[in-house]
Amino acid sequence: METVRSSVTKSIGILTSGGDCPGLNAAIRGVCRAAHDRYAMNILGIANGYRGLIDGDARFLKPEDFSGILTRGGTILGTSREKPFKKGANDDLEKNFTKDKVMAIKENYHKFKLDCLVVLGGNGTNTTGHLLRQEGLNVIGLPKTIDNDIQGTDLTFGFNSALSIGTDAIDRLHSTAQSHNRVMVIELMGHKTGWLTLYAGVAGGGDVILIPEIPYNIKVIGRHLIERARSGKTFSIVVVAEGALSRKEAGMDKKERKRYREETVTPSIAYRVAREIENETGMSTRATVLGYVQRGGIPSASDRVLATSFGTAAADLLARGEYGRMVTLIGNEISSVDLSVPADKTKLVPLSHYMLDTALAVGTCLGNSLPIN
């Protein structure tokens, strides 16, 4: 690719926001190396996500700051879940506080004389980036999340690493499930979508996979597990997303569902499903919640490559002055979409997705007796 150099040195800010995940440092390195070495840009590292931009907590980065971080987990910049545009319901004080946060961001953006802000994060981060763009700031987004649930891109960095961790955990449960003739329920992350659970479940040979997109029927699950036992299969693995819900819950509104779940008095969905399976089948069942382990550790080779590619592509957009974009992977091509595409949206697993049919074809129960079309 031809190097684009401007006669005026650009200054960019970079931050990581939301939950951490493997690949953030690789993406930071990709942006900074290309921006500094190829385009001679000044780079301002902003601490702790949007909170750092509100507080003016930032410093200009030197090459040694983003050297040797390719394989490191987490983020050298720190992160937070600060949402500067979030307002309290009918609370004038909170609304004014929100207005103050946005004003502080704009003031610090101009104080640091930034030409563009690069934000690395998930749905919330890129939505905030889109809103800041509407406030007149130049913003470029990079899609990061282990959930792979950002609209406009086929893949997010962080997903592959979490998939490897989840699959390894499922693999390790097989031996103890077989030794004790038990049903093992393992809970993976995925509050609104089931990409991680579906892929890890298929990769790990899960016998039942439960995702938010397909409300489950415990009787369907029970029949499947009993049939497995009758056929001589003495153990089963149930892989469940943290946001999975029953058919009964699917018919409730948000408040009803919250109240219903409080009444079940279980730490999480894995424990509830385990209890339901025991009640339905009489089988010995145990629950495991993988939790934040999925977001930790060094990034996989695939995530290092993807994050680096996204980072260098962001630097190219910066050099060309193509702001208001989010870097994406569509098929095998690195591209970009307008920041309005991922804003306030969640990429769900389509019921027509080939991976659902793949799971059904190898005998996996998806918790619902209805065919997936």
One-character DSSP codes across 94-118: HHHHHHHHHHHHHHHHHHTT-SEEE
Closest CA to 342 of 154, 153, 174: 153
Quick one: 151 and 166 in the same domain?
A: no
Q: Is there a domain that residue 271 lies in?
A: yes
The whole domain housing 143 covers: 11-157+299-338
Quick one: 153 and 15 in the same domain?
A: yes
Amino acid at 53: L
Specify the pTM.
Answer: 0.92
Q: Using alpha carbons, list the distances in angstroms from residue 52 to 16, 116, 138, 307.
A: 10, 16, 17, 23
CA distance 222 to 76: 47
Q: What CATH number does the domain containing 19 carry?
A: 3.40.50.450
**Residue 304 CB partners (closer than 8 Å, separation 6+):** 23, 26, 70, 71
Tens place of pLDDT per residue across the chain (373 aa): 444 444 568 999 999 999 999 999 999 999 999 999 999 999 999 999 999 999 999 999 999 999 999 999 999 999 999 999 987 655 555 555 677 999 999 999 999 999 999 999 999 999 999 999 999 999 999 999 999 999 999 999 999 999 999 999 999 999 999 989 899 999 999 999 999 999 999 999 999 999 999 999 999 999 999 999 999 999 999 999 999 999 999 999 888 888 888 887 788 999 999 999 999 999 999 999 999 999 999 999 999 999 999 999 999 999 999 999 999 999 999 999 999 999 999 999 999 999 999 999 999 999 996 544 4
Quick one: 82 and 101 in the same domain?
A: yes
Q: 262: number of CA atoms within 13 Å, CB side?
A: 6
Quick one: 270 and 304 in the same domain?
A: no
**Residues designated catalytic:** 147
Domains in the chain, number: 2
Q: What CATH number does the domain containing 274 carry?
A: 3.40.50.460
Q: Is there a domain that residue 55 lies in?
A: yes
Quick one: 67 and 144 in the same domain?
A: yes
Q: Is there a domain that residue 286 lies in?
A: yes
Quick one: 254 and 334 in the same domain?
A: no
Taking the alpha carbons at both ends of the chain, their separation in whole angstroms is: 43
Quick one: 190 and 268 in the same domain?
A: yes
